[in-house]
Amino acid sequence: MSRIEILYHRSVVTVLLVILLLPLAATLVYAFSSQWGSTILPEGFTVKWMVQLWQDPRFLIALGHSLLICFGALALAVMLVLPLMFVIAYYFPQLDNVMNILILLPFAVPPVVSSVGLLQLYSDGPLALTGTPWILVGCYFTIALPFIYRAITNNMQAIHLRDLMDAAQLLGASTTRAALLVVLPNLRKGCMIAVLLSFSFLIGEFVFANLLVGNRFETLQVYLYNSRNGSGHFTSALVISYFFVVLLLTLVANTVNKDKE
């Protein structure tokens, strides 16, 4: 590759990064500006809006609700889906094509349509879950399935699951022992990628949270929606805080994963 081609590729990547980061940078500046209306640059800077946000008990509760729902749904999804994926990959690999179609079903129906059906189904009767966090856990569980299935399936293919299991069994390990002590540690990266992808998507989900639960179990996105008529500086501080929470959790997860390696 010539020097001109390298320079061209770097220029394209730089332009794309600038385009992607510019709105976030503008939001960050607006969150720390005291007044920014009639001038090109802010008239001053302050931490007032950020302090006001993090001292708001309602925001902290909404953030806790979002983290609780997301991690609860992801833990449930991993514990239920991972054994099923192992069985399919090891015993019934011919079902992989069927699973690739089934996991797309949560995205085939628009969230508004799904919410109306769930409201009719769980508003009364033996399972009156509307307005409770349990219905969100169930919804987020189904939304996370495609991300979890695809990431872990790719990881299983990369480690050559059948060859790994056959080698462990030749050395005297039972199927259960080989799955727990040999295969599962090698799926750590796939599980981490699946959880991070799902988490970054779920914590920003609004339609299900607003229609099924709303203010009865206020999540971060519902709190942001309810704050839309307030100060733009305050809303910008909320958006930046949301971004840095996701970024911080991602960095912590990557650090833990590297330490285990």
User: Which structural domain range is residue 34 located in?
Assistant: 1-46
Does the residue 229 lie in any domain? yes
Contacts for 169 with CB less than 8 Å, ≥ 6 apart: 175, 178
- The pLDDT-based confidence of 8 (bands split at 50, 70, 90) is confident
Same domain, 34 and 64: no
Same domain, 20 and 121: no
Same domain, 192 and 69: yes
Same domain, 39 and 123: no
- The pLDDT-based confidence of 261 (bands split at 50, 70, 90) is low
Does the residue 51 lie in any domain? no
Does the residue 52 lie in any domain? no
pLDDT for 187-214, tens place per residue? 888 888 888 888 888 888 888 898 888 8
Does the residue 146 lie in any domain? yes
| Number of separate domains in the chain | 2
Stretch 18-22: mean pLDDT, rounded? Answer: 89
- Please give the Cα distance from 31 to 149 (Å, whole number): 38
Stretch 145-157: mean pLDDT, rounded? Answer: 87
Same domain, 253 and 162: yes
Token output for 190: 């796939």
Does the residue 149 lie in any domain? yes
pLDDT for 54-111, tens place per residue? 999 999 999 999 999 999 999 988 888 888 888 888 888 888 888 888 888 877 888 8
For residue 61, the model assigns a pLDDT of: 93
Same domain, 165 and 62: yes
Same domain, 232 and 158: yes
Token output for 231: 């100060």
Contacts 24+ apart (CB under 8 A), 253-261: 253/192, 253/195, 253/196, 254/192, 257/188, 257/189, 257/192, 260/188
Does the residue 63 lie in any domain? yes
- Please give the Cα distance from 133 to 140 (Å, whole number): 11
Stretch 233-252: mean pLDDT, rounded? Answer: 86
CATH of the domain at 152: 1.10.3720.10
Q: Are 66 and 219 within 8 A, CB to CB?
A: yes
Same domain, 31 and 82: no
